[in-house]
Structure 1
Amino acid sequence: MKALGTLILLNFLFVFTMNSQDRQYPEQARMRPEMSEYWQPQPPVVTPGNRSQAPAAAPSDAIVLFDGKDLSEWQNSKGEAAGWTVHDGVFTVKKGTGDIQTKREFNDFQLHLEWLIPEGITGESQARGNSGVFLQGMYEIQILDCYQNETYVNGQTGSVYKQTPPLVNAMNRPGEWNTYDIIYTAPTFKADGTYRTHPRVTVIQNGVVLQNNTIILGTTEYIGFPKVVEHGAGPIRLQDHGDPSAPISFRNIWIREL
């Protein structure tokens, strides 16, 4: 009986195989280049700024945070008028007036700013043209004169302050303008207030990459280590470090929300 069952099964498999060989299947379509292309949605058109100008114009979709005329986009930490000095198309840190920050708040963005360490600057290490740009008011990218000026590496120009040193030192000499182009991705948080995704930053100074999609570990503390503080959108903040050596100037600041 068992042998009979085996014979029936073998006969079924033989017939199925023969029928399968006789059956005609449609040939798979030959791949063409257009099969892996898609055309919609088209990226929006953005007109780049005129790079031949000095300073270069902002892109057409940018929010201009300083146009050389006034600090109407800025305020101090109390929400009052920014007290820094505007002159000759730039603005300069006014010692003792405190940090200034944008009235608007941002999440992910591309930020452009230009800054100048004046000629004749004195001092050394951190006491030499010290300022900083804080992303979302929380995370400092160091501004400092590191032209032939040695300091701790995680406090150099372009460092994520007290966390990650820059890849290189790309400083121009005092009296020459430096540019920062910063691409920033804001963090997201879990229900318990810890990071779901960390903030990340890319910093380019004078066309040279200093930070390449660097993870920011938390707040950039002067004393102590990074802390995780849950937050939402935040301003761009510029630091009045109270540097006695010489005041830093800024110009041509714009931002593109991403």
Structure 2
Amino acid sequence: MDTYNQIPKILSFVLCVLAFAQVKAQEQKGPQMTPEMTEFWDHKVPIISPGEITENAAMTAPSDALVLFDGKDLSKWESVKGGPAKWIVENGVFTVNKGTGDIQTIEKFNDFQLHIEWKVPENITGKSQFRGNSGIYLQGRYELQVLDNYNNPTYSNGQAGSIYKQTPPLKNAMRAPGEWNVYDIIYTAPRFKEDKTLFSPGRVTVIHNGVVIQNNTQIKGHTPFTGLPKYTYHEKGSIKLQDHGDPSEPISYRNIWIREL
């Protein structure tokens, strides 16, 4: 057989096979795609009214939020010791009443967006951890640190914006004493298996004065002062604010609201 003379026939056969395969592929692809095929017109996004910037708030609550402090009273809060919250409400803010203990929300939450504004006094004294120390405990057990770290060095995983004794903030975005700081917190609660062991850890994103300081950070467990964090089974939990017993002037809070996610 003259192999050389067979090459044109072989090429012709290969081209026929490729053409047939292309036709079959076109048939399997179905109709030509149009832009409208990937547009979701049936899904309606709920409409809410966003908050506003005012003289007394960095951002007021949107229409679908639960207001936890409206500047008038602590009716949404209680003492962790039992009974009413005993912190001091005055001029639209409330302030730690040293020695009365931590306070927590009466209502409990899982995943949420939390907005909270806080400041230390202009004439604050002390240094390191004794300078306006408080804390925001997510579900009552995972602490986001509150502290004056404007020209106040301390251990990095204990400064403002840290997940206390776990993860330092990415940046120090503190405002000077006497000025209001703002935390916007997006929190995903941990999940547990049927046998109450951990399935997935909690995660948190924190924006401090417009700056991302925790970016989908994994929470390693509860917040012990001594020892290592760990998870134990729990269900919904409160937002808890800490009375640290700081000997310097105490911290103040205002404009607190939450949106369940």
State the TM-score, normalizing by the size of structure 2: 0.88
Contact 2:206 2:214 survives alignment (8 Å): yes
Question: Aligned to 1:142, which of 128, 140, 145?
Answer: 145
Unaligned runs of 5+ in 1: 1-16
Question: Percent of counterpart pairs with the same letter?
Answer: 62
Q: Which residue is 1:248 aligned to?
A: 251
Report the secondary structure of 1:133's partner residue: strand
State the TM-score, normalizing by the size of structure 1: 0.89
- Structure 1 residues 145-224: aligned runs within 5 Å: 145-224=148-227
Deviations 1:115-149 (A, max 9, x none): 01101111111011100000000100000000000
**Matched residues, number:** 240
Q: Which residue is 2:36 aligned to?
A: 34
Residue type at the aligned position of 2:35: P
Query: How far, CA to CA, are the matches of 2:171 and 2:216 in structure 1?
Result: 15
How many Å apart are 1:200 and its aligned residue? 0.3
How many Å apart are 1:39 and its aligned residue? 1.9
Unaligned runs of 5+ in 2: 1-16
Query: How far, CA to CA, are the matches of 2:222 and 2:162 in structure 1?
Result: 13
How many Å apart are 1:54 and its aligned residue? 2.8
Query: How far, CA to CA, are the matches of 1:146 and 1:96 in structure 2?
Result: 23
- Structure 1 residues 219-238: aligned runs within 5 Å: 219-238=222-241
Does 2:56 align with 1:54? yes
Question: Aligned to 1:44, which of 43, 46, 51?
Answer: 46
- Structure 1 residues 70-81: aligned runs within 5 Å: 70-81=73-84
Q: Alignment RMSD, CA only?
A: 1.9
Does 2:101 align with 1:94? no
Report the secondary structure of 1:247's partner residue: coil
Report the secondary structure of 1:162's partner residue: coil
Residue type at the aligned position of 1:159: S
How many Å apart are 1:193 and its aligned residue? 2.9
Query: How far, CA to CA, are the matches of 1:54 and 1:243 in structure 2?
Result: 26
How many Å apart are 1:50 and its aligned residue? 1.4
